[in-house]
Structure 1
Amino acid sequence: MTPNKFSKLMQRGLGYVEQTVLITIAFATIFAVFQAITHIWLAGAITVGDLLLLFLYLEVMSMLNHYLGSGSLPVRYPLYIGIIALARYLVLEVAEIDAWRMFALSGSIFLIAIAILIIRFGHVRYPYVDCPTQQSNNN
């Protein structure tokens, strides 16, 4: 099916909206990093929770950079962010968490890590082909 003028106009419009949202996320993340650094500076101490929060922001920026550079987003990046977020929650709330919730959080981190390993194995063992002409040339 060939795209008509309306389809092309909508694609262009959605592309502009997408770029605007990505730029907004980038600026918001940079602002949040400055807020976190200011909080650390004013507190006069760095905690593990602060470091994990900065790693969360770093992963978000890395995900944005990869998406802007390639136009695609590997599913691994949100999984990395999920692991860091769960680890941060676990570290910050360790005093108030009961044994079952701690077990569930640890199990969740483990399951996400296994999912990342499976996805990485799948990408290495069964790589993606960008277009059908490359697939016929590889055979």
Structure 2
Amino acid sequence: MRVGMHALAQSFGNLLVESFHYLALFAIGGITAWASVVAFLGMLEKGHVTVDDILLLFIYLELGAMVGIYFKTNHMPVRFLIYVAITALTRLLISDVSHHHRPDMGVVYVSGAILLLAVAILVVRFASSRFPSVQPSARGGRDGDES
């Protein structure tokens, strides 16, 4: 009896966690889509598009792709987070240089951060190819995963 109640409680808890998980993913995906539409309409309203605007749309695209991959594979693609960070820093760099017209040490710091993130992508890709995470699939086989 006790084991049955424990199994039922665990099953119900897993259902609640999974439901919250999917609800949160839908919310994040919806907010990302809404923000990208608002940004796009703002670009149309301005009548011209800047490099900053295009990079902002790339950030939204990468966030949407990350949510989509998470829905399909149930794994967080770490590389996409790093891509978002690189794109955001590139956007900051271009915006800073184009608006202030005076490169200083801040440009070097941001460029160094971009280089560091690019190296992090290499490390993540090497680690995922060298040490793939293997999880059993629903059919009893084993599937590899690339981060």
TM-score normalised by L of structure 1: 0.86
Equivalent position to 2:132, from 117, 127, 130: 127
Q: 1:30, 1:121 → 2: CA distance?
A: 32
Q: 2:94, 2:14 → 1: CA distance?
A: 43
CA deviation after TM superposition for structure 1 residue 98, in Å: 5.5
Structure with greater strand share of residues: 2
CA deviation after TM superposition for structure 1 residue 8, in Å: 2.1
Instruction: List, as ranges, runs of 4+ consecutive aligned residues in structure 1 with deviation greater than 6 Å.
Output: none
Residue deviations 1:73-99 (CA, integer Å, cap 9, x gap):
121111111111111111122244762
SS of 2:52's equivalent in the other structure is: helix
1:83 aligns with 2:86: yes
Structure 2 residues not aligned, in runs of 5+: 143-147
| Partner in structure 2 of residue 43 of structure 1 | 46
| Partner in structure 2 of residue 100 of structure 1 | 105
Alignment length (residue pairs): 132
1:8 aligns with 2:11: yes
CA deviation after TM superposition for structure 1 residue 5, in Å: 2.5
TM-score normalised by L of structure 2: 0.81
Q: 1:89, 1:10 → 2: CA distance?
A: 43
When the two chains are superposed, the root-mean-square deviation of aligned CA atoms in Å is 1.9
Counterpart amino acid of 1:14?
Answer: V
| Partner in structure 2 of residue 64 of structure 1 | 67
Q: 2:9, 2:90 → 1: CA distance?
A: 46
